[in-house]
Amino acid sequence: MNIPITGASASLLRPADTSAVSTAKSGFGDIMKSTIEQVNQAQNRGDQAIEQLNTGSAESLHEVMIAVEEADISLKMLVQMRNKALQSYEEIMRMQL
C-alpha cells in the first residue's frame, strides 16, 4: 500500500536548501579571526573608557564599568571557545583509524 506524501510531510523529505551554505564562504578560521577582532575592539573600548575615567573626561562611571565588563566577558568567551576547540582537536587525535 503506497500512500502519497504531500503537504508538510513532503517538505520535510526534500533536501535542505543549500544556497545559504554555498554562499557562506567563511570557514572556521574566518569566524575565529573575526571573533578575535571583535574581542580586541571590546578590549580597546574598555581601555579607552578607563583612560577617560583617569583623565576625568568620562561621562559616567556606569558607562566605564559596562565597557570594562563587556571586554572581560568577551575575553572569557574567547578563552572558552579556544578550550572547546582544543578539546575537540584532542578528541579527534585520540580516535583510532
Read off the pLDDT of residues 15-54 as tens digits, 9 standing for 90 and up. 455 554 445 567 878 888 999 999 999 999 999 999 999 9
Distance CA 88, CA 26 (A): 20
Q: How many residues would you count in the chain?
A: 97
The secondary structure of residue 15, as a DSSP letter, is: P
pLDDT of residue 92: 92
Q: How confident is the model at residue 69 (pLDDT cuts 50, 70, 90)?
A: very high
Q: Is 9 left (phi over 0), alpha (psi -120 to 50) or beta?
A: alpha
pTM: 0.65
Q: What is the DSSP letter of 27?
A: -
